[in-house]
């Protein structure tokens, strides 16, 4: 059956799923409690699958409540079923099956694994349940929409920050060594961050203004693995380091621990991402140079707008005006929000002004007067 992902989804009256006649899988879709699958139009049951809790606090502290509120505001009467896969791709697949069985007729999925999650998209697609990939891309051309930030731009902002500030650290440290600790290779975002960072940094590397001594991807974004990676890199280069590109704040925190052990904390430019409390505490203390602020509320609102449009059967073209290319060359309609680089100079005018974090939170445990903020 050919489906138009931009407008209407049509389905047969019954479905054969795994050899079993399924007539009530999508009981939350349609009207009047009909047991016939009717696609997302009229759907009020939304399943939200989040990826993890251990490497970044954002998923449960930010995304979960913001998505819940945004979906229920955009689609009055909607109910949401939330799941968290705790960084296990098999758990997420099982949770998706549970959501479908419970009658969730639109799925919002932030995948643990960009490739493995294709099975979720395909199973949902077979039941005429659209999947919105949230924050992280899923490599499947049955995907309905992708809502995220411009993740190549995230990497560019991180890399450009280094370009704009590296000279001081090179001079102070007496070397131009660069180490790059990237995110998880099975997260498409990590690849985009890497690509964007290199777009900014490669001219300096090629000109030998910076020497890339060590670069690696970090499976599962594991913070302790990142620390071990940095310890190995420091051992390799005799603790001579000027710049540490680190893909997010969680890993940056453990990288800083490795630097502290060699009396290098505060002397090396360390990047980050996610605008976390611990990231800002590291910035206020002078151990991390910057982070990337992604206003998750905008991401949640954009997702909720698509959920509501699917349920109401209204046009989505203006809601997903961008597109993202999959590895197979096909494109998926997308909404891409704009990330912002934050350092000590603009904490007050960005994340504090937006209420994304509070002064009391980021100053907790930080010396009075730190960064001119606490």
Average pLDDT over residues 225-248: 98
Using alpha carbons, list the distances in angstroms from residue 299 to 156, 194, 335. 20, 21, 8
Given pLDDT bands bounded at 50, 70 and 90, which one contains residue 39?
low
Query: Would you call 248 exposed, middle or buried from its count of C-beta atoms within 10 A (0-12, 13-18, 19+)?
Result: buried
Q: Is the pLDDT of residue 11 over 60?
A: no
Mean pLDDT over all residues of the chain?
90
- What pLDDT is attached to residue 56? 83
Determine how many CB atoms are found less than 10 A away from the CB of residue 120: 27
- Cα-to-chain-centroid distance, residue 181: 17
Among residues 57, 327, 328, the alpha carbon closest in space to that of 192 is found at 327
Phi-psi region of 122 (alpha: psi -120 to 50; beta: other; left: phi over 0): alpha
Q: Is the pLDDT of residue 123 over 90?
A: yes
Pairing of strands 322-325, 331-337: antiparallel
Q: Is the pLDDT of residue 121 over 90?
A: yes
Average pLDDT over residues 115-120: 95
Q: Which residues pair with 15 in a beta bridge?
A: 22
Q: Who's near 62: CB < 8 A, 6+ residues apart?
A: 296
How far apart (Å, rounded) are the C-alpha atoms in residues 251 and 162?
Answer: 17
How far apart (Å, rounded) are the C-alpha atoms in residues 155 and 318?
Answer: 26
Percent pLDDT > 70 in the chain is 90
Average pLDDT over residues 250-254: 98
Condensed to tens digits (0 to 9), the pLDDT of residues 75-93 reads: 999 999 999 999 999 999 9
- What pLDDT is attached to residue 55? 81
Condensed to tens digits (0 to 9), the pLDDT of residues 124-180 reads: 999 999 999 999 999 999 999 999 999 999 999 999 999 999 999 999 999 999 999
For the CA atoms of the chain, what is the radius of gyration? 22
Query: Would you call 171 exposed, middle or buried from its count of C-beta atoms within 10 A (0-12, 13-18, 19+)?
Result: exposed
Which of the pair, 155 or 19, is modelled with greater confidence?
155
- What pLDDT is attached to residue 57? 86
Which of the pair, 28 or 77, is modelled with greater confidence?
77
3-state secondary structure of 366: coil
Condensed to tens digits (0 to 9), the pLDDT of residues 197-209 reads: 999 999 999 999 9
Q: Which residues pair with 81 in a beta bridge?
A: 47
Q: Which residues pair with 214 in a beta bridge?
A: 179
Condensed to tens digits (0 to 9), the pLDDT of residues 343-373 reads: 999 999 999 999 999 999 999 999 999 999 9
Residue with tokens 């050899």: 19
- Work out the widest C-alpha separation in the chain, in whole angstroms: 73
Write down all domains in the chain, each with its CATH number in brackets: 15-149+296-337 (3.40.50.2300), 151-294+340-372 (3.40.50.2300)
- Tell me the whole-structure pTM to 2 decimals: 0.82
Q: 180 — phi, psi (to 5°)?
A: -120, 115
How far apart (Å, rounded) are the C-alpha atoms in residues 216 and 87?
Answer: 20
Average pLDDT over residues 203-216: 98
Contact assessment for residue 114 and residue 136, using Cβ atoms and an 8 Å cutoff: yes
- What pLDDT is attached to residue 12? 33
3-state secondary structure of 265: coil
Pairing of strands 106-109, 45-50: parallel
Q: Is the pLDDT of residue 103 over 50?
A: yes
- What pLDDT is attached to residue 21? 30
Determine how many CB atoms are found less than 10 A away from the CB of residue 13: 10
- What pLDDT is attached to residue 170? 98
């Amino acid at each position: 059956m050919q489906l138009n992902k931009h407008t209407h989804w049509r389905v047969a009256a019954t479905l054969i799923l795994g050899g079993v006649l399924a007539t009530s899988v999508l009981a939350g879709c349609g009207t009047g409690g009909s047991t016939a699958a009717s696609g997302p139009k009229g759907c009020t049951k939304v399943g939200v699958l989040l990826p993890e809790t251990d490497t970044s606090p954002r998923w449960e502290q930010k995304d979960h409540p913001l998505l819940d509120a945004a979906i229920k505001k955009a689609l009055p009467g909607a109910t949401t079923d939330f799941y968290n896969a705790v960084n296990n791709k098999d758990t997420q697949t099982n949770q998706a099956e549970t959501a479908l069985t419970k009658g969730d007729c639109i799925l919002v999925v932030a995948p643990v694994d960009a490739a493995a999650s294709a099975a979720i998209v395909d199973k949902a697609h077979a039941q005429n349940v659209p999947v919105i990939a949230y924050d992280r891309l899923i490599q499947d051309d049955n995907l309905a929409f992708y809502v995220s930030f411009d993740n190549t731009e995230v990497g560019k902002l991180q890399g450009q920050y280094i370009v704009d500030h590296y000279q001081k650290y090179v001079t102070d440290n007496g070397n131009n060594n660069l180490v790059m600790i990237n995110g998880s290779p099975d997260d498409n975002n990590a690849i985009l961050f890497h690509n964007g960072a290199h777009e900014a940094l490669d001219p300096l590397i090629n000109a030998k203004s910076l020497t890339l001594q060590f670069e690696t991807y970090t499976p599962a974004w594991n913070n302790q693995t990142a620390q071990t990676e940095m310890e190995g890199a420091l051992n390799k280069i005799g603790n001579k380091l000027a710049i540490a590109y680190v893909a997010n704040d969680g890993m940056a925190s453990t990288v800083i621990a490795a630097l502290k052990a060699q009396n290098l904390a505060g002397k090396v430019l360390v990047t980050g991402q996610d605008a976390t409390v611990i990231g800002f505490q590291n910035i206020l203390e002078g151990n991390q140079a910057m982070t990337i602020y992604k206003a998750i509320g905008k991401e949640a609102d954009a997702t909720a707008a698509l959920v509501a449009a699917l349920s109401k059967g209204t046009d989505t073209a203006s809601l997903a005006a961008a597109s993202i290319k999959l590895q197979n060359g096909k494109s998926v309609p997308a909404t891409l929000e704009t990330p912002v680089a934050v350092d000590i100079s603009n904490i007050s005018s960005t994340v504090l002004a937006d209420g994304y974090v509070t002064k009391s939170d980021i100053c907790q445990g930080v010396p009075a007067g730190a960064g001119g903020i606490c």
